Amino acid sequence: MDILDILRAALQQALGPQAIVFALAAIGLNIHFGYTGLLNFGQAGFVAVGAYGLAVSVVTFGAPFWLGVVMAMVAPLVLAVILGVPTLRLRADYLAIVTIAAAEVLRFVFGAVETKDIFGGSNGLNGYARPFQEANPYSSGIDLGIVAFGRNDLWSLTVGWILVGLCCLLVWALMRSPWGRVLRSIREDEDAVRSLGKNVFAYKMQALALGGVIGGLGGMFLALKQASVVPSDYSTLMTFYAFAALLLGGAARVMGPVIGAILFWFLIAGLGSFFSQSAGDGGWIPTVIMSDTQASLIRYIVLGLAIMLLMIFRPQGIFGDRREIAIDGR
C-alpha cells in the first residue's frame, strides 16, 4: 500500500473543481438552512439552472458569453421566486417537498427529447466555454509533488476559489449586518420577528434567492470547467452531498461549508484509494471479504457511518455551534 498515492488522490480532490462546486452549493445551503432555517432539498435545481442559464443563452440563443454569465445568476433568482411565493408562508416541510420535486422536474425537462432543441437532451450542450478557456493567463500547469494540476485545471481552480472566497466574504458581511441578524431571529422564532413588524416572508424570499444564486454560481463554474452541461450531473445526490459538506463543517459558520466540502472530498477520494489498494489480489483484505468492485463502494458506507457518529456526538459539525442548528418546523 502506497500512503503517498492515497494522500495525493485525497488532496487532488479536496482542492480540485468538485470541492469548489460543492463548496458553493453548500454556502448557498448555509444561508437557507444554517442562517434562516429553510429546508431546501433541491439545491441541485439551483445549480442546474445556473449551468443551463449560461449554456442555453450562448449555444441555443447565440447570446454573448458575458450575457450568459448574467443569465447564470438570473435563472436561479427566478427559480427562487417561483418556488418561494407559494411555499414560504407555509410550514418548512412544504418548501422541502417543493424544492426536491422541482429539482427532479428540471432534470427531466433538461434531458427530455421534446426539449432537445433547447437543452440538448440527454447529451447536453457544449461549445460555450471558449471565451473562458481563451482568458487563461497560465502558460503551463503546476506540480507541487504531492499534487499537480494542468494548465486548464489551474485556471479553473483560480477562478473557482476566488468565487468561493468572494461568496464567503459576502456572507460574512451580510450576517453581521441588521439583515443577517433578522435572518437568525427568523430561524429562532418567526412569530416574535413578525410581532416586531418585520416582513418575514420578504426576508425568507431574499435568503432563498441569495442562497440559490450562490448555488447557481456553482453550476456556472461546473459548466465552465467541464465545457459541457449534462442533466445527469444535477441529481438529488448533489444536494445531499452539499448537505453532508455543510453538516460536516458546521452550519451557520462562514467557513463551515468550505471546510466541510474540502474534508468531504478528501475523505471520499482518500477512502476510495485506500480500499482500492487494500482489496483484491494485491491487497491485505481477502477477496472473499471485499472484491475490487465492492472496494469502490465501501467508502460511502464508512463516510456515512462517520457522519452518523458526528451527528450523534457533535450535531453542530466540526466548527459549528449547537445553538445554530435550530430548524423552524412550524
pLDDT digits (tens, 9 = 90+) for 180-223: 999 999 998 999 999 999 999 999 999 999 999 999 999 999 99
**Which pLDDT score, from 0 to 100, does residue 323 have?**
66
**Which pLDDT score, from 0 to 100, does residue 328 have?**
44
- Taking only the tens place, the pLDDT of each residue in 215-261 is 999 999 999 999 999 999 999 999 999 999 999 999 999 999 999 99
Query: Which pLDDT band, with edges at 50, 70 and 90, does 1 fall under?
Result: low
Contact 279, 285 (CB under 8 A): yes
pLDDT higher than threshold 70 for residue 170: yes
Q: What average pLDDT does range 292-299 have in this prediction?
A: 81
Could you tell me what percent of the chain has a pLDDT over 90?
78
Can you read off the three cell numbers belonging to residue 306?
Answer: 462517520
Domain 3-313 -> CATH class: mainly alpha
- Taking only the tens place, the pLDDT of each residue in 82-118 is 999 999 988 878 999 999 999 999 999 999 999 999 9
Q: What average pLDDT does range 125-138 have in this prediction?
A: 96
Global confidence as pTM:
0.94
pLDDT higher than threshold 60 for residue 172: yes
- The pairing of strands 148-149 and 228-229 is unpaired
pLDDT higher than threshold 60 for residue 178: yes
Query: Which pLDDT band, with edges at 50, 70 and 90, does 20 fall under?
Result: very high
Report d(CA 95, CA 126) in Å as an integer.
Answer: 33
pLDDT higher than threshold 70 for residue 327: no
**Which pLDDT score, from 0 to 100, does residue 88 have?**
92
Q: What average pLDDT does range 163-175 have in this prediction?
A: 97
Report d(CA 248, CA 197) in Å as an integer.
Answer: 36
pLDDT higher than threshold 70 for residue 329: no
**Which pLDDT score, from 0 to 100, does residue 93 have?**
86
**Average predicted confidence (pLDDT) for the chain:** 92
Q: Lowest mean pLDDT: which of 8-12, 29-33, 126-130, 324-328?
A: 324-328
**Which pLDDT score, from 0 to 100, does residue 22 have?**
97
Report d(CA 105, CA 34) in Å as an integer.
Answer: 26
pLDDT higher than threshold 80 for residue 306: yes
Report d(CA 45, CA 77) in Å as an integer.
Answer: 12
Residue 299 CB coordination number (10 Å): 19
pLDDT higher than threshold 70 for residue 5: yes
